[in-house]
Structures are given as C-alpha cells and as structure tokens.
A and B are shown apart, each in its own frame.
Chain A
Amino acid sequence: MKTKQLTTCAILAALALALSYVEGMFPLPVPLPGFKLGLANIVTLFALYTLGAPPALAILLVRVLLGAMFAGNASALIYSLLGGFCAMLVMIGLSRIHKLSVYGVSVGGAAAHNAGQVAAAMLTLGSATPAVYLPVLLIVAVFSGALTGFVCSLLLGRRLFRLWAK
C-alpha cells in the first residue's frame, strides 16, 4: 500500500471512529442499548468509492475494533461488527450496479446495517424479541441512508477528493 493511501486510510479510520462515538449520543429510536444509526457508514461508503473494497474493509475493521475497545464493552463490538459488515457487503454489491447513485447504495447499506444490529441484539439477548423492531428500523434506514448518501455525494462531488484519492 502506498504511503499516501495508508495515511488516507488512517485518517478515514479516525474519522469513522469519531463519527461512531458521536452518533452514540443520539437518542435511541428503540430500547436496544448500543444501537447506532450508522453515520460512520459515510466513511465506509466514501472509502469504497475512492479507495476500493479492500481498504474500505480494513478501515471498517479498525473502526469496529478500536470503537469496541474504547467503549469498553463486548456488546458494542458485536453490534458494530455485524452492522458494519452487513452494510459493507450490501454496499459492495449495490455499488456494482451502475444505475444506482450513492443514495441507492447508502439506503441499502443502512438497511443492512440496521438488520445486522438487530441480528446482533438477538444473539446477545438470546431471544427473537428484538426482531419486532426491524420494520421501524428499516424505515429509519431509508432516512439515515439518505443522509449518509447526501453527505457522501457532497464529498465525492468535490473534484479535490476524487483527484487526490486516485
């Protein structure tokens, strides 16, 4: 990996970490502690388009591990791990469909992110009860995905970033 790419990754990882910390302060739409809206996916999506899937995955991994370490509890790890990777997989898949804009990809990613978190909740609680929140969370995902997409479009629209990343 080139040094420039490495530093870019590091900066993006730090940014993702900061975002996931900040979004933890949002009031939760559901009584599932540890749930996150997925704003850190802005970074994941941005990295995916500018750097490619492997670096984006690496950034995600670093963000998830360090985030859990700083939070100090294992459930945060499972939530962001499942949420982040589900989002990642869906976004990699959707980004290959060139007819979709960043908005479509990010909404799909947000939906997968929330579904992953519900799955994590079901695992940690050992019961199927968190699944009731999926409908609500999917609707929320449309909005958080739109927001993520919007921010990404701003970032990606700036020629500066595009040139720099290439």
Chain B
Amino acid sequence: MKKYIFALFLIACLALAGCGRQPDGTPHRRTVFAMDTVMNLTVYGGNGEAALSAAEQELYRLDAHLARGTAGSVVYALNHDGTVIDREAAALLRASGSVAQASDGAFDPTVAELLDLWGFGSGAGEHRVPLPEEIAAALAHVGEKYVHIDGEQVILDLPAQVDLGGVAKGWAGERMFACMKENGITGAALDLGGDVALWGGKLDGPWRVAIKDPADESAYLGVLEAEGDRFIMTSGVYERYFEENGVRYHHILDPKTGYPADSDLLSATVICKDGIWADALATACCVLGADGALELWKTAATEWVPFDAILVTDDGRVLYTCDGFTAQAEGYTYERVA
C-alpha cells in the first residue's frame, strides 16, 4: 500500500513539475518572411502562439496593402490614379510629411522615382548610375509638397510617386503590437529585418539590444538597454549598395540632390516611442550627417517627437544621446552627447 502511495506521490511531483505555471519568461518565437526581409518575432506571456499568428496575418495584410509594386495596394493605386481614400495611407503619409518638415526634406516619401533610377526601388531594377539629366528630371517631382491629405483622402500631384518603404516597418511594428496585445501578451521583441520593435517587458530584466557594427557584420558596437516600448531602427549605408567603376553607391538617397547621401555617417540608429518616426528618422539622420542629426535631435525634443540616436561616423566615432548604451567594440571613440 505504502509503495503505491509513494509511486503516486512521485508521479504527482513529476506532473506538477512539468506543467507548473508557465512563467512569463518563456518566450514563443516565429520566423516570418515579409516586406522583402526576414522577421523574427518573440512574445512573452498570454497566448503566445495566437498572438504570433495574428501578427503574422497582419504583416501579410500590410505587405499587400502598402507595397508599391503590388497591384492591389493603396500605394499602387495612388501612384497610378493620383488619388486614393484610405485611412492607413493617409495617416502614414501625414506622419511622413511631418518628418519631412522636421528634417527639412532629408526624409521624403516621394523619392520613389529616384530609387527606381538607381535600381533600389521595388521593381527588379538594374543597379546603375543614372545620367545627370535623368536625375534632374526625377528631382522635379520629388517633394512632400506634392502630397495633399484631407481627412482620409490623399491626392498626389502626378507624376510624383510615393513609396512607403521608409516607414513601413515602423508602422508594421505598431500594428503587430496591437494585434498581439489582443491576445494578452506581456512583452514582445520583434526583429523586423534588423529594425527592432519592443513592447512591454520580460521577467529577467530590461530589454537588451545589440547594435551592429557597420564595419564588421559579425561584431557589435555595443548593447543598448531599454525598458518598455521602444522602436530601435537603424539605417546604414552598408545595408544595400552597388559598386560601379570602383565607387560605392548606397541606397540612402538625398532627396535634394538625387544622389546617395554624402554625409559623414555610416549608420544611424534611432530610438523612439513612435514606430513611424523611428523608421523615418533613421533615414533622415543618415542623410543629414552627424551635425544635422544632432540638431534635429535637439529641436525634435521640444517641437516634434523626442528621440535618441546612436550615430556612427566615417572617422571612427560613435555618438550617442541616450543612457543605457554600453560600448563594446574596439577601434571606435565613443562620445556621449548631452
């Protein structure tokens, strides 16, 4: 009799040990291919699998809804018909316009045609250096002044063309958080092809995000610690580029010159609570260069949307404006900007 009781006790212990309360610390992960990149989603707490599925579906919806090259998307319609009524597109273009104003044109959603010329666009364009006349012609249609927004209606002065690629991932992050929250999650860390979106928290400490070293893909500049909701988006000249006649041309075009931005920054990482702004500002900072980016950082804090930045210059300096950043790489001079 005693033996049976003991055996039962053993089984009960094992069972309880195995299916004990699942601590929120155990994450659920999923890899999704969308928006032309690989995304790794991690959620904590709540109904993890359901949250991931909901987020995945939302990702596909956004991709189809906002991609310039997809025939059924609102951006496609806008670029062809010159007008479209869509709440999402209107909101995104409105925000893009604000960033364009704040950055004095360093970020501009109407660079679509230029991107296509260089082969960085959404179509299967060939990488080549466009002729000055081609660039001048395209530049005539670049400017957020060609975009008019009235409520949910967007009017585009054709032949200007719009591309939401500069804010798509930031917006995707916001939307995915909304879907995940409906499934009761307590924390989420989304790696959207190198752009990170964080929400909530996890049990064993604050979020830790490693920042890639532009000079060495496998090394990190340092680790950033953050709490709660943050978007950490990076734009770097090393992400997409091609070489012609020994010269490297990267994908971050300066909307004013039509050529790859000739700034002193190799990469800019923007930390912001607003996903759209984080995404757009990262591009803007790369175009503005270190001094311009820091100017923007100061004015944005009071006039626009506050953000922090980690800037890597081409002369080996890493300028950062936030606390919680621990330097890690050798060969760089780290400067904290107050």
A interface residue numbers (CB < 8 A to B) = 65-66, 68-69, 71-74, 76-77
B interface residue numbers (CB < 8 A to A) = 10, 13-14, 16-18, 20-23, 26
Chain A binding surface SS class: helix
Q: What residues on A are CB-neighbors of B14 within 8 Å?
A: 65, 68, 77
Which residue of the partner chain B has the closest CB to A78? B17
Q: What residues on A are CB-neighbors of B26 within 8 Å?
A: 73
Q: What residues on B are CB-neighbors of A74 within 8 Å?
A: 17-18
Contact of B21 (CB < 8 Å), options: A65, A68, A72, A76:
A72
Q: What residues on B are CB-neighbors of A77 within 8 Å?
A: 14, 17-18
Q: Can you identify 6 A-B contacts, CB atoms within 8 angstroms?
A: A69-B13, A69-B16, A69-B20, A73-B17, A77-B17, A77-B18
Count: A-B pairs, CB below 8 Å? 29
Contact check, A73 vs B10: say whether CB atoms are below 8 A apart.
no
Contact check, A66 vs B13: say whether CB atoms are below 8 A apart.
yes
Which residue of the partner chain B has the closest CB to A62? B13
Contact check, B23 vs A68: say whether CB atoms are below 8 A apart.
no
Which residue of the partner chain B has the closest CB to A65? B13
Q: What residues on A are CB-neighbors of B13 within 8 Å?
A: 65-66, 68-69
CA A65 to CA B18, docked complex, whole Å: 11
Q: What residues on A are CB-neighbors of B10 within 8 Å?
A: 65
**Min distance, Cβ A123 to any Cβ of chain B, angstroms:** 15
Q: What residues on A are CB-neighbors of B20 within 8 Å?
A: 69, 71-73
CA A77 to CA B10, docked complex, whole Å: 12
Which residue of the partner chain A has the closest CB to B20? A72
CA A71 to CA B17, docked complex, whole Å: 7
CA A74 to CA B14, docked complex, whole Å: 8
Which residue of the partner chain A has the closest CB to B10? A65
CA A73 to CA B25, docked complex, whole Å: 11
CA A49 to CA B306, docked complex, whole Å: 66
CA A146 to CA B201, docked complex, whole Å: 39
CA A76 to CA B23, docked complex, whole Å: 13
